[in-house]
């Protein structure tokens, strides 16, 4: 039972690493060519390693190959003394497998390596048996896997086999190149061409077979001599040309399951569409049981309280079991369509629909939901009349209104009692009498109100609205009867003090230059005599004759409810790190790692004129620089931009050649350290923070760590 459980868990896993459960991986690489199994896995280890969601189902095979060093693994050697091994790797390029005499349990969470050509089994191993390209247990009752083959057209298992774990579904031709060698600075492994599907003319399962593989290769004829039916057979049966079942119970299972898929129709009887493709020597339609046929039927419903209700016309919400009086429970089928239950009787090879139909009673919460949905949601808050939405006085919160049935609003009226808003109001004009409004979900209040005209009675709300409209560059009109334009400080326009620009470390910029447009966001300026929170700067990009780029800077100051332009003007020049004019493209070309010296931030190190140590994928990072690394981008013109990576997965090789899953250590905001035991690492799922809340994921990278 333990072996069965472990294998099921393994088959469900796509990639098998659990760092918390086991700090050191059991896999080790030697000479970049051998995957070496160097430790046993206990039963609990196999269970823990079987649970992982590291690789999403949507990832393509090429994503796996670019992340992990599958291209290295040609031979799988299991050490003598190891009794259990769990492979969670997609070993696409492995060709040889060596099994020692001590091995008792062997599990593959992925398929058996499709390129496997040879299995070397120690003759002293008492647990396994290797015959004709197939691995069995010692008495040949269990078949673990077969080498892929497209030569034999008939696949027939020995009579002793009771359990078939794995069958090849495809194979790689001998001349297939599994991975192409690309330049080391930017390598991406990929399949030269897709593997061919294996197709057999006939597959024969023996009469002692009790457990079948999860998947079945394509075949013309499927012969099942056993009385045990595979779980997947009703799906496969429609795709084979001919199916022979020695036991009619297997055939009946297929016919009933296929009939059950047609229960959405309203005919009285269902038979499978093409019985000519099936054959069983014991099949006899005279075995259909018709003793249950009568004119009336009574429904039996057992509730959670154990009460049995006979003859009910509807099903209570706490029902546990449904049945028909006088018909065995195993022969009763029912189908639920939007709360309407239809009933069927399974008899031998078909299903019959009964003239019985009942409804399920909704629960109290379902009744409340029905009542809630039956009313327009806006009616909970106010009323809509002549395209005017008036929220009732006393309502203090507005949540998730349902606008689908509403016409476009011309006006919305928000009462004095309103305090909290979490859903959008879209209209031509809005009248706000509230003294305070808070936006939900962490958004600004005005994010939820979209209008062309705003009437705001409260002065402070009006001032915050005016500033927000200006920041968002909205052209809407805002008015408040309590606003007083005499509070505008017009004397600020007389300020002629020079703007002082500073970098992220507070150092004053003397020559008004910046290394890239992105780093401009880290600059700030001050004007003596003006509150920095009220200062605004506007830039206009212009190209100059020699191919460089400058930004013409204009300044404004916010006072009360308006923005006053100032007379000061500046020119900020965009230059490269060597001081020459900025030329060429600004597009990102390649993600890299760069070293951030102590005392510097990832931004300030790029702002300085000092040289930057940069490593591309495939490079070796000296150990003395591996303690302060940041992510950045090489641009198409050769310059650099910073990147704030918030997450990345790591696959590593340590100094003892142990191969496992780990992490980088976060030193500071955006600065990482590679643990000292790493000598080689692959960075996967590099996730970058984005201000628009849409994260960016970059291709995997591969680095060596030197001494």
Q: Give pLDDT tens digits for 518-558.
A: 777 778 899 999 999 999 999 898 888 777 888 899 999 99
170-171 and 196-197 as β-strands: parallel, antiparallel, unpaired?
antiparallel
> Which whole number is the average pLDDT over 33-62?
45
Mean of the per-residue pLDDT values for the chain? 78
Is 105 within 8 Å of 83 (Cβ atoms)? yes
pLDDT of residue 666: 87
> Which whole number is the average pLDDT over 454-476?
94
> Which whole number is the average pLDDT over 104-125?
79
Which residue in 351, 349, 346 sits closest to 331, CA to CA?
Answer: 346
User: Which residue has 């060519």 as its token pair?
Assistant: 33
- Quickly state the pLDDT bin for 580 (edges 50, 70, 90): confident
What span, in angstroms and rounded, lies between the C-alpha atoms of 442 and 439?
7
What span, in angstroms and rounded, lies between the C-alpha atoms of 230 and 223?
12
Cα dihedral 467, 470, 471, 475 in deg (nearest 10): 130
- Quickly state the pLDDT bin for 370 (edges 50, 70, 90): low
- Quickly state the pLDDT bin for 183 (edges 50, 70, 90): very low
* DSSP label of 581: B
pLDDT at 644 over 50: yes
What span, in angstroms and rounded, lies between the C-alpha atoms of 621 and 593?
9
pLDDT of residue 678: 92
Q: Tokens in use for 632?
A: 């950045």
pLDDT at 220 over 80: yes
- Quickly state the pLDDT bin for 465 (edges 50, 70, 90): very high
pLDDT of residue 41: 55
350-360 and 340-347 as β-strands: parallel, antiparallel, unpaired?
antiparallel
What span, in angstroms and rounded, lies between the C-alpha atoms of 593 and 701?
10
Q: Tokens in use for 499?
A: 């703007």
Is 164 within 8 Å of 157 (Cβ atoms)? yes
Percent of the chain with pLDDT over 70: 76
Q: Which residues contact 406 (CB under 8 A, 6 or more apart)?
A: 376, 378, 384, 389
> Which whole number is the average pLDDT over 621-641?
90
Percent of the chain with pLDDT over 90: 26
Inter-CA distances, 534 with 462, 464, 469, 489, 555, Å: 17, 13, 15, 12, 11
Q: Residues, the chain, total? A: 707
> Which whole number is the average pLDDT over 159-163?
93
What span, in angstroms and rounded, lies between the C-alpha atoms of 474 and 459?
20
What span, in angstroms and rounded, lies between the C-alpha atoms of 571 and 548?
13
- pTM of this structure: 0.57
Q: Where are the beta strands (DSSP E) in 406-492?
A: 409-414, 420-421, 425-432, 438-439, 449-450, 453-456, 477-479
**Can you give the residue ranges of every domain in the chain?**
2-193, 229-363, 375-483, 490-574, 588-705
Is 104 within 8 Å of 127 (Cβ atoms)? yes
pLDDT of residue 693: 62
């Amino acid at each position: 039972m333990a072996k069965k459980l472990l294998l099921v868990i393994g088959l469900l896993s796509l990639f098998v690493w659990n760092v918390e459960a086991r700090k050191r991986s059991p896999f080790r690489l030697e000479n970049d060519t051998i995957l070496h199994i160097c430790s046993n896995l206990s039963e609990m280890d196999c269970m823990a390693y079987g649970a992982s969601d590291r690789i999403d189902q949507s990832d393509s095979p090429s994503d796996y190959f670019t992340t992990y060093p599958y291209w290295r693994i040609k031979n799988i050697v299991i050490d003598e003394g190891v009794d259990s091994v769990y492979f969670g790797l997609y070993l696409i390029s492995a060709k040889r497998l060596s099994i020692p005499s001590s091995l008792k349990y062997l599990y593959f969470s992925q398929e058996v390596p499709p390129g496997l050509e040879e299995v070397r089994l120690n003759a002293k191993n008492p647990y396994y048996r290797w015959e004709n390209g197939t691995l069995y247990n010692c008495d040949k009752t269990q078949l673990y896997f077969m080498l892929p083959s497209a030569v034999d057209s008939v696949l027939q298992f020995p009579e002793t086999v009771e359990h078939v774990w794995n069958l090849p579904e495809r194979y790689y031709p001998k001349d297939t190149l599994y991975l192409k060698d690309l330049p080391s600075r930017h390598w991406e492994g990929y399949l030269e061409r897709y593997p061919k599907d294996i197709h057999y003319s006939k597959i024969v399962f023996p009469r002692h077979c009790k457990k079948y593989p999860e998947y079945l290769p394509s075949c013309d004829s499927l012969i099942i001599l056993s009385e045990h039916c595979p779980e997947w057979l009703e799906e496969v049966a429609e795709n084979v040309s001919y199916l022979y079942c020695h036991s009619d119970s297997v055939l009946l299972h297929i016919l009933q399951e296929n009939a059950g898929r047609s229960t959405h129709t309203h005919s009285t009887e269902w038979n499978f569409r093409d019985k000519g493709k099936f054959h069983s020597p014991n099949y006899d339609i005279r075995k259909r049981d018709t003793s249950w046929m009568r004119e009336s039927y009574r429904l039996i419903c057992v509730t959670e309280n154990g009460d049995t209700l006979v003859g009910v016309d509807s099903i209570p919400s706490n029902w546990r079991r449904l049945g028909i009086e006088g018909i065995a429970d195993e022969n009763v089928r029912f189908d639920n369509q939007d709360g309407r239950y239809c009933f069927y009787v399974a008899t031998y090879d078909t299903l019959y629909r009964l003239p019985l139909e009942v409804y399920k009673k909704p629960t109290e919460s379902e009744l409340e939901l029905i009542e809630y949905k039956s009313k327009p949601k806006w009616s909970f808050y106010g009323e809509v009349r002549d395209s005017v939405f008036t929220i009732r006085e006393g309502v203090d919160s507005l949540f998730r209104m349902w606008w689908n049935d509403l016409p476009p609003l011309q006006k919305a009226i928000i009462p004095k009692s309103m305090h909290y808003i979490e859903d959008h109001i879209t209209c031509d004009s809005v009248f706000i009498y509230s003294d305070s409004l808070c936006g939900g979900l962490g958004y600004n209040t005005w994010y939820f109100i979209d209008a062309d005209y705003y009437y705001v009675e409260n002065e402070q709300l009006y001032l915050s609205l005016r500033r927000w409209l200006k920041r968002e560059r909205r052209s809407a009109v805002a008015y408040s009867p309590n606003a007083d334009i005499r509070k505008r400080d017009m004397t600020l326009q007389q300020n002629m003090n020079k703007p002082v620009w500073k970098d992220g470390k507070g150092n004053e910029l003397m020559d008004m230059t910046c290394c890239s447009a992105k780093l401009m966001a880290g600059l700030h300026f001050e004007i003596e005599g003006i509150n920095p929170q009220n200062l605004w700067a506007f830039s206009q990009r212009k190209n100059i004759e020699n191919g460089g780029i400058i930004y013409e800077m204009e300044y404004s100051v916010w006072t009360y409810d308006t923005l006053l332009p100032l007379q000061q003007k500046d020119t900020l020049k965009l230059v490269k790190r060597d001081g020459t004019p900025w030329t060429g493209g600004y597009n990102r070309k390649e993600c890299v790692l760069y070293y951030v010296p102590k005392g510097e931030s990832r931004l300030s190190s790029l702002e300085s004129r000092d040289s930057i140590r940069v490593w591309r994928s495939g490079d070796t990072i000296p150990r003395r620089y591996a303690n302060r690394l940041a992510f950045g981008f090489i641009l198409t013109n050769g310059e650099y931009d910073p990147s704030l990576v918030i997450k990345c997965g790591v696959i590593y090789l340590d100094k003892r050649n142990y191969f496992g899953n780990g992490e980088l250590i976060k030193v500071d905001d955006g600065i990482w350290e590679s643990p000292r035991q790493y000598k080689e690492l692959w960075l996967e799922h590099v996730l970058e923070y984005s201000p628009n809340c849409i994260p960016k994921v970059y291709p995997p990278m591969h680095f060596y760590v030197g001494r």
